[in-house]
């Protein structure tokens, strides 16, 4: 009998605890938090690849000695296929060149003895924003011709910002001794806006500013001076360029329409041509 009673005792089940309003609220709150967490994870999974990953530009061609520096790192040799992200700097040596392709299919050719930094690479609502800071040297650019969407592309120097959209800039050059020179290619239009005036450039137009109010030398004069320069077999190192920049950067001369502070020529071109905007700001 005792064994039977013990068996009956072990087979008994406990009555479920009564459900109270407090218990119901606790369960509902837990389920709500779980649902919010699930939605958050799902949202991260649905982010577009361009927004989820950092954009980078790629070095597609290198000739002679080209070096790069990661943020806070040391200078290393650049190989074809190297990826550049915001904060990276690039330097081309004597007779050295590099070609960089950006996420919007824009292509920038970096000329010898140039020193630049990738400032920003972002994509927002189909528009790719690219920023280059050029401390010294020369580049030319073909912007946003092969990709669907819009390009917001700028090359900045100490004296100006060149905003390029869907066109070709044959030359952007800067140097402490001559300021900044911009020369258009065979397409597009360019508007130059300064503190005291503005000018517009069409295909093959050019403009430039330096500190003494006179125009920079013409491209032919610049080429002649480059041929007369003997920079040695190795060229200028990044450290020497940095020392050169400490000499001082020329301030922008006041601009007037057709005045001595601005050299501009307006060529032909339809009104439907893409617009390139060059903003020149007065330095303190």
Residues 6+ apart with CB under 8 A from 271: none
Nearest to 168 by CA among 276, 278, 277: 276
Please write the tens of the pLDDT for every residue from 149-168: 677 888 888 777 777 665 67
Distance of alpha carbon 172 from alpha carbon 157, whole angstroms: 9
Looking at residue 127, its pLDDT comes to 84
Looking at residue 77, its pLDDT comes to 96
Q: Which tops the pLDDT comparison, 213 or 166? A: 166
Please write the tens of the pLDDT for every residue from 32-69: 666 565 545 444 444 444 443 589 999 999 999 999 99
**pLDDT category, 223, cuts 50, 70, 90?**
low
pTM: 0.58
DSSP 3-state assignment of 66? strand
Other C-beta atoms closer than 10 Å to the C-beta of 38 total 10
Least confident stretch, 47-51, 76-80, 203-207: 47-51
Least confident stretch, 60-74, 108-122, 207-221: 207-221
Looking at residue 89, its pLDDT comes to 95
């Amino acid at each position: 009998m005792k064994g039977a009673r013990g068996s009956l005792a072990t087979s008994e089940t406990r009555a479920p605890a009564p459900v109270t309003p407090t218990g119901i609220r606790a369960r509902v709150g837990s389920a709500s938090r779980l649902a919010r967490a699930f939605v958050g994870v799902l949202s991260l999974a649905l982010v577009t690849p361009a927004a989820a990953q950092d954009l980078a530009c790629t070095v597609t061609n290198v000739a002679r000695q080209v070096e790069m520096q990661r943020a806070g790192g040391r200078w290393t040799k650049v190989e074809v296929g190297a990826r550049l992200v915001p904060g990276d700097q690039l330097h081309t040596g004597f007779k050295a060149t590099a070609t960089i392709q950006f996420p919007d299919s824009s292509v920038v050719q970096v000329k010898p003895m140039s020193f630049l930094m990738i400032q920003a690479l972002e994509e927002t609502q189909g528009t790719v924003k690219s920023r280059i800071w050029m401390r010294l040297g020369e580049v030319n650019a073909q912007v946003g011709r092969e990709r669907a969407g819009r390009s917001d592309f700028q090359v900045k120097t100490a004296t100006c910002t060149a905003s390029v959209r869907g066109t070709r800039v044959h030359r952007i050059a800067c140097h402490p001794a001559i300021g900044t020179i911009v020369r258009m290619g065979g397409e597009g239009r360019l508007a130059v806006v300064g503190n005291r005036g503005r000018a517009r450039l069409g295909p093959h137009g050019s403009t430039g500013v330096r500190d003494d109010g006179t125009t920079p030398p013409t491209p032919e004069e610049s080429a002649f001076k480059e041929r007369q320069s003997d920079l040695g077999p190795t060229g200028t190192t990044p450290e020497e360029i940095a020392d050169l920049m400490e000499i001082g950067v020329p301030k922008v001369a006041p601009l007037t329409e057709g005045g001595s502070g601005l050299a501009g020529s307006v060529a032909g071109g339809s009104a439907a041509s893409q617009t390139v905007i060059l903003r020149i700001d007065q330095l303190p």
